[in-house]
Amino acid sequence: MKMLIQNGLIVNSDSTIRADVLVENGKITAVGSGLDAAGAEIVDASGKYVLPGAIDSHTHLEMPFNGTVSADSYFAGTRAAACGGVTTVFDFAIQRKGMGIREIAQERDALCRPQACVDYAFHVALTDLTDDVLTEFQDAVEYGLMSYKLFMVYKKDGLMMSDADIYKALLRSRETGALISVHAENPDIIDLNIENFLKNGQTSAWYHYLSRPEFVEAEADKRAIHWAKSTGAPLYIVHLANADGMKAVEEAVTEGYTIYAETCPQYLHFTCDVYKREDGRNFVCSPPMKGQASQDALWEGIKKGFITTVATDHCPFTTKQKDWGKDDFTKIPNGCMGIENLYPYMLSEANKGRLTFNRAVQLCSKNPADIFGCTEKGAVLPGKDADIVLYDPAIDFTITNENMHSDCDYTIWEGVRLKGYVTRTYSRGRLVFQDGTFCGEAGWGKFLKRAGRSAESKA
C-alpha cells in the first residue's frame, strides 16, 4: 500500500511546512517534495492542513460507573474518535479488588480489541494497591503498561484511594518509571456539602457544582503536588478545571518539578452556568465546569505552557441515564462526551487565533505521545505511523447530535460553531473517516505496547 498526500500544509508541534507526505504500508516514509510516487494513490490536499492524528489520553468507554455503564461501546467510542481526527484512544482499565495489573488490562483488551476502530492503550485505574500490585509495576512497564490513575474521590463507587496509597504509588512509580495520575477533589468536603444540600431540598444540577466548587478541587491539586514534590515522582493531574490548581501547577513546574496538567475542552468552553439550564444534568461531570475566572486561567495556562495536554474525559450517559438524577443531583451519572470534539474544537480555537495550530497539535498529539510513551505517534515525520488528519480551515461546521458518531442521544456540544473541520482521518494509512462519513472498521485498531516517557517529556 502506497499513498502520496500532495500540496498540503504540514503542521507539527514545532514546524509548519508545505510538503508532500509519502505513506507506505501504514508508515510515513518520507516528507518533502519530488517524492517517488510510482504506484502510489495520489491524495490532493490543496488548501488543507496535514496534521498528526490526535491522541485522546482520557476516555471511559463502556465503563461501569455510578451503578450503570457509560453509553459508548469501544466500537461507538472509537468510531466517534476516528470521525473527530483522534487516532489513538487511552481508556481506563479499572481494577477490581484482588486483580493484578496485567489481568485488568487483559480483561479490557479482550472487550476492546474486536471493536476498536483506531489504536488504543490503557491507563490502569488502581483501586486495591496490594504489595503484589506494587511489585508488578516493574513487569508492567515491560509489557507496555506504564500509567496509572488513582482517584481521590468516588468513595461510594469503591474507586477512592487513601492519601497513603497514592503516596506509595508515587514512590513506586519513581523506582519503575511509571507515571501516576490523580483525579483531585476533596471527598469529605463534597460529602458534607451534599448532605447539607439534600437536607435543604436543594437537589438540582446547580448543587452538583456548589457541592464541588473551585477550592474543593484546588485544595486536592495542592495536596497531590506536595506528595509529588516530597517523593520526587512525576505527577499527571487529569481534567484540571480550576484557577488555583492551575496556579499551583505553574509554581511547582517553575520550581523544577515534573507536574503535567491535563484539561478538557468542556472546561475551556463551558462555565458552571450550564448547571442552571433546563438540561443542566447533561453537563454533570466531576470535577464540574467552574466559573469564568477558572476558564480564563486554563486558557492562560495553555498560552504559558503549563497545561500539557488536552483530552476529553469522554464518558457519555444517555438522557435516560442522566434523568435518574432529575430530582436528586447525586443520582446523575457523572460524565460528558467529547471524543469527537477535541481536535476540531482546539483546531477551531487555533483558527480563530486563540492559540497557534502548532500548539493545538502539541497539546492534542505530540505531548500525550511523549508523556505516555507512544513513540510511533504524535508527528507527521518519517518513521511515524501514518495517523494523519486532513483539515479544511475554510469549513463552517455546527455541531449537532446528527453529525456526531457516538451512540449517545444528545451532545453537550449541540449548536457550537467551529471554524474549520476534519475532512479525512487515516489510521496507519487506512482511511477511517471522509467528509462526514465513518469508513473504518471494528477490529482495525491495535493495542499499543508503550515505551516509558520520552526524553522530551522529561525536559
Is 362 in a helix, a strand, or coil? Answer: helix
Which residue bears the cell 515505551? 451
Site string for ligand URP, 282-311 (x = CB under 6 A): ---xx-------------------------
- Work out which of 183, 222, 384, 450 binds ligand URP, going by CB under 6 A: 183
Q: Is the peptide bond before 382 cis (omega within 30 degrees of 0)?
A: no
Q: Which residues ranging from 297 to 316 are in contact with Zn ion (CB under 5 A)?
A: 313
Select from ligand URP, Zn ion, none the partner in contact with residue 335, using the beta carbon and a kind-dependent cut-off of 5 to 8 Å: ligand URP
Q: What count of other Cβ atoms lies within 10 Å of the Cβ of residue 353?
A: 8
142's grid cell: 515491560
Residue 250 near ligand URP by CB under 6 A: no
Contact between 79 and Zn ion by CB under 5 A: the answer reads no
Kindly tell me the sign of the dihedral angle through the C-alpha atoms of 75, 103, 262, 154: positive
**Which of positions 2-61 make contact with ligand URP (CB under 6 A)?**
60
CA-nearest of 310, 319, 290 to 411 is 319
Residue partners of 445: CB distance under 8 A and separation at least 6: 78, 89, 112, 113, 116, 117, 118, 119, 120, 427
Q: What is the nearest approach in angstroms of Zn ion to the Cβ of residue 25?
A: 28
Polymer length in residues for the chain: 459
Binder of ligand URP out of 119, 250, 262, 313 (CB under 6 A):
313
How far apart are the C-alpha atoms of 301 and 296, rounded to whole Å?
9
By CB under 6 A, the residues from 368 to 427 that bind ligand URP are none
Site string for Zn ion, 180-219 (x = CB under 5 A): ---x------------------------------------
DSSP β-ladder status, 417-427 and 430-434: antiparallel
Looking only at the bridges linking them, the beta strands covering 27-32 and 16-24 are: antiparallel
Q: Of 220 and 390, which CB lies nearer to ligand URP in the complex structure? A: 220
Applying CB under 6 A, the site for ligand URP has a residue count of: 8
Alpha carbon distance 13, 205 (integer Å) = 39
Encoded one letter per residue, x for contact with ligand URP by CB under 6 A and - for no contact, window 316-345 reads ------------------xx----------
Closest-CB residue for Zn ion? 183
Residues at the site binding ligand URP, with contacts judged by CB under 6 A: 60, 183, 285-286, 313, 315, 334-335
Residues at the site binding Zn ion, with contacts judged by CB under 5 A: 183, 313
